[in-house]
């Protein structure tokens, strides 16, 4: 179930009620989303508790939006070239990390660059063809690590940092490319953020 509201501080949000234990905030798909357990009664307190974090993200987004208007996308990879690159990268990571039984799928995704399902299916956003290769490699590595940890918790980021100590910079760069690749197709306002995963 979903509902919409405006916080006491004037911030619009959407509340998604799910069968989960703990509430969380997401800044995805152009708006603040509260992911709440069924029956959760006090979204305002949750927003207030994380207001500093939300405001920090909003400032970061303003900066990314400014940069996205100046920076230009490079030439996109051809579809076959992108698919082959992804296949090779997943195979390389699977050998190094020790997992198998996976498959790849490609489709246009509205809220993330990639995902990995429980059954081992990697889904990659076709918009990744516009990313520079160092970011493609990072996204693939990131998704492969979800074989070991599904959540984006401290343990997951510790795994990421073993290969990419600069992952925070790469995440910011991915957010910039998201804005750049969507600026013609959407009307994203400065208070919004696009998540990567």
Instruction: Show the domains of the chain with their CATH numbers.
Output: 2-70 (no CATH), 79-182 (3.30.2010.10)
CA angle 172, 86, 117 (to 5 degrees): 80
Model confidence pLDDT, tens digit, residues 103-158: 999 999 988 999 998 888 999 999 999 999 999 999 999 999 999 999 899 999 99
> How does DSSP classify residue 79?
H
Q: Provide the pLDDT for residue 101.
A: 84
Query: Rounded to two decimals, what is the model's pTM?
Result: 0.71
CB atoms within 10 A of CB 92: 14
Q: Provide the pLDDT for residue 168.
A: 94
Q: How far is CA 77 from the centre of its chain?
A: 21
143's CB contacts (< 8 A; 6+ apart) are 114, 115, 116, 122, 197
Q: Provide the pLDDT for residue 1.
A: 60
> How does DSSP classify residue 120?
S
pLDDT tens by residue, the chain, 197 residues: 666 767 666 778 888 898 888 888 877 545 688 889 998 988 888 888 888 888 777 777 777 666 666 666 677 889 999 999 999 999 999 999 999 889 999 999 988 999 998 888 999 999 999 999 999 999 999 999 999 999 899 999 999 999 999 999 999 899 888 888 766 544 333 323 334 44
């Amino acid at each position: 179930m979903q509902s919409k509201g405006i916080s006491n501080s004037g911030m619009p949000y959407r509340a998604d009620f799910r069968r989960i234990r703990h509430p969380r905030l997401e800044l995805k798909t152009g708006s603040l989303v509260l992911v709440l357990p069924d029956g959760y009664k006090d979204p305002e307190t949750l927003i207030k508790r994380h207001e500093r974090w939300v405001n920090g993200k909003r400032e970061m987004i303003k900066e990314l939006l400014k940069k996205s208007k100046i920076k230009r996308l490079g030439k996109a990879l051809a579809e076959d070239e992108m698919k082959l690159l992804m296949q090779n990268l997943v195979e390389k990571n699977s050998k190094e990390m020790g997992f198998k039984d996976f498959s790849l799928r490609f489709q246009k995704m509205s809220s993330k660059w990639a995902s990995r399902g429980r059954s081992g299916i990697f889904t990659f956003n076709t918009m990744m063809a516009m990313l520079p290769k160092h970011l493609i490699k990072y996204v693939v590595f990131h998704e492969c690590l979800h074989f070991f940890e599904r959540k984006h918790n401290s343990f997951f980021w510790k795994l990421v940092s073993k290969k990419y100590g600069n992952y925070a910079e790469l995440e910011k760069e991915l957010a910039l490319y998201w804005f750049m690749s969507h600026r013609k197709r959407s009307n994203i306002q400065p208070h919004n953020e696009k998540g990567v995963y």
